[in-house]
Structure 1
């Protein structure tokens, strides 16, 4: 798929792809070789028509009367999502959340290799989380440049987040995964994905309080 066409794909479509990828992976583990858009609809909750439209943005993966080859589609979606390679990653903020992310082996299995955690707390520096060392944040910039780090994760308090994002950008990182409750300013060529845990929880709270007033999509 050419870059010009890829850039025209809706962000809403892009955000559905990981869910397709996850369910296809589960089908593979069960030894299922093919799946129809209707069967995918029942698994994902999206309509069969929506699934076909989404996948057609990236090429003709299905065959009429056959459906989709599970292994082939899983492989192609992995390539589209950039999961056919390894990304060197660091985490700044070695508190509970940062340690939990470092501890999750699923990220490494998907190609996101956490090389190190960083913190300013002297009590944490030198400790290891699943053989991943916690280093002094003062070493961050040099470490990024020496280890070809491509993704920086931020799990610091709000007041430190922009400073860390600035160091990431200065060091050449182009992808930031931000868990701090702050809206960060980044360069135009830097991709940032914000995960605001409070906002997600507050949304859940709203739906619990008003569960008769909304319809699930």
Structure 2
């Protein structure tokens, strides 16, 4: 029986996409069964850690058999919500916004882009991979009329909070934030922050200390 998701640590939750990715790779290599020990060699977690993580969501393995790779891949996909389709919009039609709109793997995973928005009138009406760019002033109405689930913020930092406020006013359910600030949102709005510079600075630290 799956535990209350509120009681599952974020560390476990953030490991789930990695499980999903590696299981897909195993399926692509026609591997249909794997033990926790074998999986630990592939994914880099200990066998004990793998068993503990998966036990949060039910008993997927069988003693003496291991894990059915296809079944485990599907179950983790369901846990991650990947058995559903999400309507998304991108706010900010600059280089990053265009790159996300052009990345078809998101759509294949069920995150379907419905529109882009920008404050530059010269961009309004243009299309990126058949995804039309709209005026930012219409975003609240668009969210409500098209039942948008996720807003992806790709604006400069100073604009991001006001954009988030518009998304919230339009009753967005979740925000994927690429702007270099932490947003202030109501508790019912789910936010995932992706600070690219922090990841790059972490790499810089590791490079520096690897050379000491």
User: Same fold per TM (> 0.5)?
Assistant: yes
Aligned residue number for residue 189 of structure 1: 188
Matched ranges for 1:173-188 at <5 A: 173-188=172-187
CA distance in 2, matches of 1:123, 1:35: 54
- CA distance in structure 2 between the partners assigned to 1:67 and 1:212 by the alignment: 41
Structure 1 residue 183 displacement after superposition: 1.2
Partner of 1:60: 59
1:86 aligned partner: 85
- Structure 1 moving runs of 4+ over 2 Å: none
Task: Tell me if the contact between 1:89 and 1:150 (Cα under 8 Å) persists in the aligned partners.
Answer: yes
2:102 corresponds in structure 1 to 103
Residue 146 of structure 1 corresponds to which residue in structure 2? 145
Q: Indicate the SS of the match to 1:99.
A: helix
Q: Distance in 2 between matches of 1:72 and 1:93?
A: 38
SS of the residue corresponding to residue 210 of structure 1 reads: helix
Q: 1:26 Cα shift?
A: 1.1
Unaligned runs of at least 5 residues, structure 2:
none
The alignment's TM-score, normalised by the length of structure 2, stands at 0.97
Secondary structure, in 3 states, of the residue corresponding to 2:90?
strand
Quote the Cα distance in structure 2 between the aligned partners of 1:140 and 1:147. Answer: 10
Q: Distance in 2 between matches of 1:142 and 1:153?
A: 16
Task: Give the CA deviation at 1:135.
Answer: 0.9
**Aligned ranges 1:46-57 → 2 under 5 Å:** 46-57=45-56
User: Aligned pair count?
Assistant: 212
- Alpha-carbon offset, residue 123 of structure 1: 2.0
Matched, 1:124 2:119: no
Indicate the RMSD between aligned Cα atoms, in angstroms. Answer: 1.2
Deviations 1:123-178 (A, max 9, x none): 21111111111111111111100000010100001111001111111111121000
Question: Which residue number corresponds to residue 28 of structure 2?
Answer: 29
Q: Quick one: distance in 2 between partners of 1:142 and 1:70? A: 43
Q: Which residue of 1 aligns with 2:5?
A: 6
Residue equivalent to 1:77: 76
Distance in 2 (CA, whole Å) between partners of 1:148 and 1:39 is 43
Q: Distance in 2 between matches of 1:72 and 1:44?
A: 18
Post-superposition Cα deviations, 1:73-128, rounded to whole Å, max 9, x if no partner, equal 01100110000010000010000000000000000000000101100112211111
